[in-house]
Structure 1
């Protein structure tokens, strides 16, 4: 009975200690509606660390502070789960919006950001695009994705419960440190073309793993909310650094815990030190782990003893044995000098048994190692075959003079080049894969793209065609493909490394403080146009890039342009003028005609390049949702030309020099022609490249443009540019009349 009473007392003490790690005081609730409430959170002011960790319990549900936000889970790893509404946008058959089924969803918690590592932003629908709007500091930011499909997706055993892959459903990562988010869903055509099976657009943020897409969801999404994860931390960015520097408990972490910065601008989190476990924020948290009750490194078979103490343990040998007691040390061996000779035989036998066991263990280990190596080799060979390696080698061998240009790398080479694809080596992520910086064995820097292609025979065929065609391209303004690796689960492409970032990094004032002159911008535009023209007309099989944008134009240290990222490109045989594809591209650069018809042709690249020209002229991004008059740069640019406000939207720094005015006007009208709605009215990329090269040639050889040879357009420009931009004050009336007619023609014809 006394023993039973002692056991019950120990159980009660352990339970009390567990509750103490949850709540700060005995009268503080440690659970509400089945949800544990660990400190620094608490119900009531005296139970939590501060007001940001106050919770409210109504008996069955736990709420964040006094709001209506329900808390479903709190993790000591720094994450909190809450349910968050889906934003629907529904239409009736006549194209009218159903008001009670169309609204945005907002979340206002200024203390904690939405977790970028634990969530995904998702849009569901066949005529849908969704936005995630938020703030980073004082700036408003938006991101989103679109999904369009022309026919009904039939639920099958293969696609029910699949991940959101882009057809009928799209998903993107959440930007880090986003607070106070708003979710909005929209429709391109009010679901008129797909109303029979999908009359609603949906957008939401969901915890990874909580949502699996099914085609049935296009007819009806069976839930109104999904779990969302918030990151929580102690909001004092300097306390962790100060505590570490002063070696004093200057943070809320207890004495057996250490602090770790969440971000340098927000705050920090607490972690129990090695050898301890529990709640690092609670004064009584971080209890010692008894390593002796778990598998450890003591030589137990050699009679070693494990000794536990706070934060660690030690091993020792019993009397009659020598050694340190550790498996990785000298272990425990019988001291022969303490025994008489009759026991020597027993010692020899014991040593013989140990040696036999050691040999057996070594043999088994070698067999396991050999089996592992053979298995890995078979996996590499299977991946090589599945990724089309044999077909690619055959195709390359048929390309006389080109086979040596494309190297087939092995998996180990690229793992060593990227430190096993360490996240610190990531240069960027995109819809077609992740790009890493690598250093080959000969110290050559390369960019290694980890593709998302895998398994689908049609995708493998397109991938092989892309590698074969790109291996034939040797253009100074196209990023060179050095080789590929097919031994991995998904193919890896190895490109030359371009060291000066993207074009957007250099023309966006928020990213680059150094101004790029108009001469450099014009040269970059001409080099890019010439490269795209080469792809369209000079390659053995014409290539439509399909994702021309300022982030896919790389610059080297001399600001020379390099067109990159051919993951979305399409090969178009010479006997075809266009191809029907699933719409793919980037908002702001996407050809409206291609978006509506799904018919891809070379003029789609012309439209995207026209948007890049407008970016070079204005210094603005293609899409900025905080732009008051029009978020879409192309539409804003067209409106400005129609309203004779061109000079108001051009980059002010480009107008400082009087000599830029004529070229700016010429390039502006060229850009306007490139972004016409009707693709047939756009010039070809060859024509665009020739016009840009002509402008550069005129600038390089001023003797070609005497006073009498100045075009009527240039004369008009020199008259009508405002004085503050350095315009000339006189011109002949003939030039004025001619240019006035041309302006009217451009505006009328461009709609």
Structure 2
């Protein structure tokens, strides 16, 4: 990792060095404003003869810029006419301002006065860069000069055009050819104007909303112009209005003013051989020379200040700059290619080393040992790459989280073939034994009510396990946040209890070695697309040798489900799983949570509360209403008695999972017979939930092994339990 950082830092250093070298060869900074004067307001550079603050920084009041401050930015205004400045071009002799537009009958927005007089100023509205534009239906728009018509245009609309459509029009995308929008040129030497909009026909559309304005027009780049005549050496120019937004939202539009240095201003032009000055008559048609303008021969710089034109320096150094730039860039590209190749090769080596390191750290050697000893069966599991799982989970996006536990987070993902998966990402380093334990146990389990392991990934700092995706969440959420469209009926509760009991019976008795789950609870019981139970989370489970009856270990479990005997002795047996299952059974009966917080200092255990109600003969007071409504009292009482036996404090008095499964199946059989006698056709019986009365899970598992010797015929187990 350190080598990768050094290479990347070196590449960044080379790029920075190239930038510095090229910048060093660039042209010297040309003065924009007079010495000691500010030349920046917000994002706009203020060149002389424009200026700010002190009077010596600008050429008379007409060129004064006021830089107005807000909480977040600065905005320049041409103080003489109180309009915002957008840009200044001393070479072209233009300044672009934001000019108000005229509205007529446009709702709450009143017409904005636009009569901004430029009389006596060095400015005129540019005839070359602006147009008079109007938008509306069946209108005549007039631009008037001292009460006389100076320009105008006519705009008509289709009959089906709504007035609102004019407001939604975007000027930037309109050619204003007379349909809904029209345009005309400005008169020369325009210094003051007013606008008037009238209906095309008397009393027709006279009161509808319309707009009129003087607005900047820009020439389209040839690549932006749609129409290019074929077989023609002449391509006419295209134009557009640089205005963003719908018409109804506009208050101002850009307008270009041309300017000159009036004779009356007596500007002493800099004695610079590079600048070129010439006579102009921009502001008056009465005189051949009303002022002066200057420019730099190469088209850049400010000819109105000393040293503002740098053309000679550029001409002498441009070849050197090009040569240095091209040579440096070419050499840098070759160097970068070499470094990139070294980086790629180095990265492969480092990644390989890290993967080997992670493989060992994540228990790869321990896993190999278990595989060689036959403890784990990986014929049906896959080793996933990290890249594959990152793509499936959108780089383990937090939006993909299905659930979080003490040691791991589970993410939803989708493989390239469309398979939906659940990826378990362990949180804490040093818990590798839980990862290996879960992998080894699940690789040997093949039961329809146990979540299926699809594979694992050992290439990461924290190991990953990949399971089949179980879509309907866990039993806890489904039980305590019931959906009215799919309520948890008595039949469903009984079936889920049988499925969980059958899975635990299989783990305790029918697997190649007995497996104690050690953390049975409703959150670890998932529900698939048909609401079949799937036992999950085998991180703390243990495989027990046949001649061992209990296992001494650190006390682990979930409060509310934890076997009191295990808590006292730290000895976990199969009867500890029975106690936890008993709590789940009580949850199904009562619909209550395993632990209820009465206050910050006191909590009520559902198991102890249930036993107390059984002893006081008031258990029906806490049974769920739906259970009481749908089940028969004697059948409910059989389940109550079974649950109370599971919750015996003395583990030896508790039934085995085999006995529990048999009793639950018998109770469901009685329910089915009772429903048949009563002629109820509402009993839910899907072909996916065939009754186990004729094909009992007990008889299936019994046929695969000798209970007295607990020896399993392994080749048949996976067939029977599918």
TM-score w.r.t. the length of structure 1 is 0.46
Work out which of the two has the higher radius of gyration on C-alpha atoms and give 1 or 2. 2
Q: Which protein, 1 or 2, shows the higher relative CO under an 8 Å CA cutoff with sep ≥ 6?
A: 2
Q: TM-score, normalised by structure 2?
A: 0.48
